[in-house]
Amino acid sequence: SYTIGVDIGGTKIAIGVVDEKGAIHAKTILPTDHTATPTQMVDRIQQAIHGMLMDLGPGKEHVLGIGIGVPGPIDKTKGKFLCPPNLPKWANFAVVDEFQKYFSLPIQFENDANAATLGEKWIGAAKDNRNFVYITISTGIGAGLYINGGLVSGASGNAGEAGHIVIDPGKGTCRCGQKGCFEWVASGTAIARQGSELLGKHVTAKEVFQLYQEGHPAISSLISEIVTYIGMGCVTLINLFDPEKIVIGGGVSEVGEVLFAGIQNYVRQYALSPKGRETAIVPAALRQDTGIIGAAALIFLR
């Protein structure tokens, strides 16, 4: 049996036909066309899905459902987008109703970080965990809470917005209006911004980490500050949820050991409980297809 995973993002829409073991049997990437209406985009998505199912042939009748992951915030009970900054035309769009016009299959809908969390539970770094927190450090920071053996969605599907935990109010105003949010100080965008300010020229987050490896002094203190900020975010989540593990994904997690060792060290010092101080901080196992796998997991793990 198959599930359709749909990951709607600001630059691309990834659609996959996924089997019950998490193998992707067909995949389509559509560029997010910002001149098209969301209704037109859903029509393109359903055409892609029907095309992929045709090509697959036998077995296509065993599609269990469609999982949809989208940038938060969302209204989960209404199956609607709220006001995604990177998808302005999709504000208040009832995406689940629109899909239901084409498919009489069960549809599950979550914000993309929550979907990725279920992906890590299903076939990733948290397969054996009943309690873990997933954090994605990418353009922004998002998180998902998998607690007592289930995803914590909250009343409207927006639980786990850890990117807007306040970390350092002295550091300027986040896009949400608060000062010094986790995402404002430690996302890939934030690392690039602060690195560029220090150097007086534009650099990416990846370049900032390269300069760090080369021992650039001003960048070294910036990176140790960033690692501390990520450590603070992790300690807050550990103290709140008592997870067995924190899984970190997203582009910035590609930096690897430099980052993970520093965060582990911070957690070892400051988490409140002795057990909390031992919480494993591990990289996400899923990479380029996180969005599709996470969306498919919404069906397979429900």
Min CB(254)–ligand ADP separation in Å: 3
Least distance to Zn ion, CB of residue 237, Å: 16
Residue 155 — φ and ψ, nearest 5°? -65, -30
* Piece of 52-60, 103-111, 214-222, 245-253 that binds ligand ADP (CB under 6 A): 245-253
- The number of CA neighbours under 13 Å toward the Cβ of 271 is 30
192, 271, 292, 299: which one binds ligand ADP (CB under 6 A): 192
Report strand pairing: 12-19 vs 24-31: antiparallel
Give the total of residues touching Zn ion (CB under 5 A): 5
Q: Where in 164-223 is the site for Zn ion (CB under 5 A)?
A: 164, 174, 176, 178, 181
Residue 139's binding partner out of ligand ADP, Zn ion, none, with CB under 5 to 8 Å set by partner kind: ligand ADP
Contact partner at residue 174 from Zn ion, ligand ADP, none, CB < 5 to 8 Å by partner kind: Zn ion
* Residue 252 interacting with ligand ADP (CB under 6 A): yes
Rounded Cα distance, 97 and 102, in Å: 9
Radius of gyration of the chain from Cα atoms?
Answer: 20
Reduced to 3 states, what is the DSSP secondary structure of residue 297?
A: helix
Nearest CB to ligand ADP, comparing residues 133 and 191 = 191
Answer for which of 139, 194, 228, 279 binds ligand ADP (CB under 6 A) is 139
Q: Is position 250 an interface residue for ligand ADP (rule: CB under 6 A)? A: yes
Task: Please give the structure tokens belonging to residue 9.
Answer: 């993002």
Burial of 294 (0-12, 13-18, 19+ CB in 10 A): buried
Partner that binds at residue 254, options ligand ADP, Zn ion, none, CB closer than 5 to 8 Å by kind: ligand ADP
Instruction: Write the DSSP string, 167-222.
Output: S-GGG-B-TTSSBSBHHHHHSHHHHHHHHHHHHTS---HHHHHHHHHTT-HHHHHH
Environment class of 283 (CB within 10 Å of its CB; exposed 0-12, middle 13-18, buried 19+):
middle
The interface partner of residue 73, options being ligand ADP, Zn ion, none and the CB cut-off 5 to 8 Å by kind, is: none
In the complex, what is the shortest distance from the CB of residue 223 to ligand ADP, in angstroms, rounded to a whole number?
A: 11
Closer by beta carbon to ligand ADP, 138 or else 228: 138
Q: Does 144 bind ligand ADP (CB under 6 A)?
A: no
Q: Dihedral (C-alpha) 100, 103, 104, 105: value to the nearest 10 degrees?
A: -100
CA–CA distance, 31 with 13 (Å, rounded to integer): 6
Name the phi and psi angles at 99, rounded to 5: -65, -35
Tell which positions 148-167 bind Zn ion, by CB under 5 A. 164
String of contacts with ligand ADP for each residue 199-238, x by CB under 6 A: -----xxx--x-----------------------------
Residues that bind ligand ADP (CB under 6 A): 138-139, 188-189, 192, 204-206, 209, 250-252, 254-255
